[in-house]
Structure formats: structure tokens, C-alpha cells
Homo-oligomer: A and B are copies of this chain.
Amino acid sequence: MTHQLRVDARENRDRVLAAARELFAKSGLEVTMRQIARRADVGPATLYRRFPTKQDLVLEAFEDELVECSSIVYDGAADPDPWRGFCDVIERTLLLNARNQGFTDAFMSAHPDVVDFEAHREELGRVVSTIIRRAQAAGRLRPDFVFDDFVVILLAGRGLTAAPAPTRDAAVRRFAAFMIDGLRVADREPRTQAGSAAGEGSSGPRPHPRS
């Protein structure tokens, strides 16, 4: 179907993709098509011919990440230990998102005009919901945890992309660890039920006794 590219064209295309991945990861989706072209040592027209839309470029540049995202989620769903599966999904997803400013932007639809990952989001969302229910059925995940909470945690992880790069992974792992500690049911006292995440004001349940 697709015409076979001439070898120099193929090379340029690959360089463009490499540049895009690099810049997207470092600086998010706000990088300019021009910047990518410059980095790839290519004229703007070449870039636009191969990828007429930024969306096209983003989709292809993040193909690996999308695959990994699927792996993470399906691995989690397949883990014989529901709790470990859940924890791994949380940690690995956070790591993936924190490493890749651009991917987070894309997946969270931070720039709806540029990319639409709605389809992927919905599919993975279903699987994650399954994982959540499974972990709760096993009595390990607090029963008031809902899918929206997962999204909230991912959103939070997005903020961590701002952490200084050298210590970022460590920070993310640490953050994930704290978070997970807050999500597991207490070893002794079974936690009381509480309402869902979104929708009600400050009069809602107070999930954390402070006294």
C-alpha cells in the first residue's frame, strides 16, 4: 500500500522521529515543528510532507509508549496477585508518565487540539477498572477507591515531570510508594466505606482520620 520510500527519505524520516521523541520527552508537546525539523537537520517541508499534522507525528513517535502502556495494564491484569498487579500498574504508569512529558500531555489530552488518544484511554480504562475491582475483592485495596482516583494519581504524576531529571525516577518511585501505602487497607482495622471521588463538595466523607 504505502510506497516504498527512497533510502535518503527513509533516513530523514527516521531522524525526524528520533528528534521528535527526544524533544517531546524532554519538553512536552509544546515543542515546535520547526524545532523538531532543525534538530533532525531537515527542512520544514520535509517534516510536513511525512507528517502533515502534529498529531500524525505524535502518534508515531509515541507508538512504543502506547505499547508499553498496554503492556503495563495487561501485565497488571494478568498478575496472579491482584494487589501486586495493582501496585505495579501504579508505579510503572507513574514512571512512564514522569519520564515522558510529551506522552503524559498526549495521554491526558492536555492539548486536545493536537492529539486525541480517547480511544486508547477508554480501552485501557476498562482494564484498569477490572484491576481495581480485583484488588478490592482480594481485600487489599481500600474499597472506596474508584477509577477516577486512578486518573487523579496519574494527573499528579504528571506534575512530577517537573522534578529535576537526575533524581526524577527515585522521586517517582518514592511518591508511588507513599501513595500505595495510602491506598492499601490497614493491616488490622478494616477501613470504613466512603463516597466516590468526584462530585460532592466539602461535606463529603473524610477518608483520613487525623486525630
Q: Which residues of B contact A152 (CB under 8 A)?
A: 160, 163, 171, 174-175
Which of A16-24, A60-68, A200-208 lies at the interface with chain B? A200-208
Tell me if A124 is interfacial: C-beta within 8 Å of chain B: no
Q: Which of A155-202 contact B (CB under 8 A)?
A: 155-160, 162-163, 167, 169-171, 173-183, 186-189, 197-202
B155 pairs with A159, CB closer than 8 A: yes
B158 pairs with A175, CB closer than 8 A: no
A183–B175 Cα gap in the complex (Å)? 10
Tell me if A149 is interfacial: C-beta within 8 Å of chain B: yes
Total residues of chain A contacting the partner, CB 8 A = 49
A206–B183 Cα gap in the complex (Å)? 16
A159–B98 Cα gap in the complex (Å)? 11
Tell me if A153 is interfacial: C-beta within 8 Å of chain B: yes
Residue on B nearest A182 in the bound complex, by CB:
B182
B177 pairs with A183, CB closer than 8 A: no
Residue on B nearest A183 in the bound complex, by CB:
B178
A24–B206 Cα gap in the complex (Å)? 30
A134–B180 Cα gap in the complex (Å)? 24
B159 pairs with A207, CB closer than 8 A: no
13 contacts between A and B (CB under 8 A): A87-B210, A153-B178, A156-B160, A159-B159, A170-B199, A177-B207, A178-B183, A178-B208, A179-B182, A181-B207, A186-B186, A187-B188, A187-B189
Other A-B contacts than A178-B179, A178-B207, A188-B188, 17 sampled, CB-CB below 8 A, are A87-B210, A152-B175, A155-B160, A155-B163, A156-B160, A156-B175, A169-B202, A170-B199, A170-B200, A170-B201, A170-B202, A171-B198, A177-B208, A178-B183, A178-B208, A182-B182, A182-B183
Chain A residues in the interface with B (C-beta under 8 A): 81, 83-84, 87, 108, 110, 148-149, 152-153, 155-160, 162-163, 167, 169-171, 173-183, 186-189, 197-202, 204, 206-208, 210-211
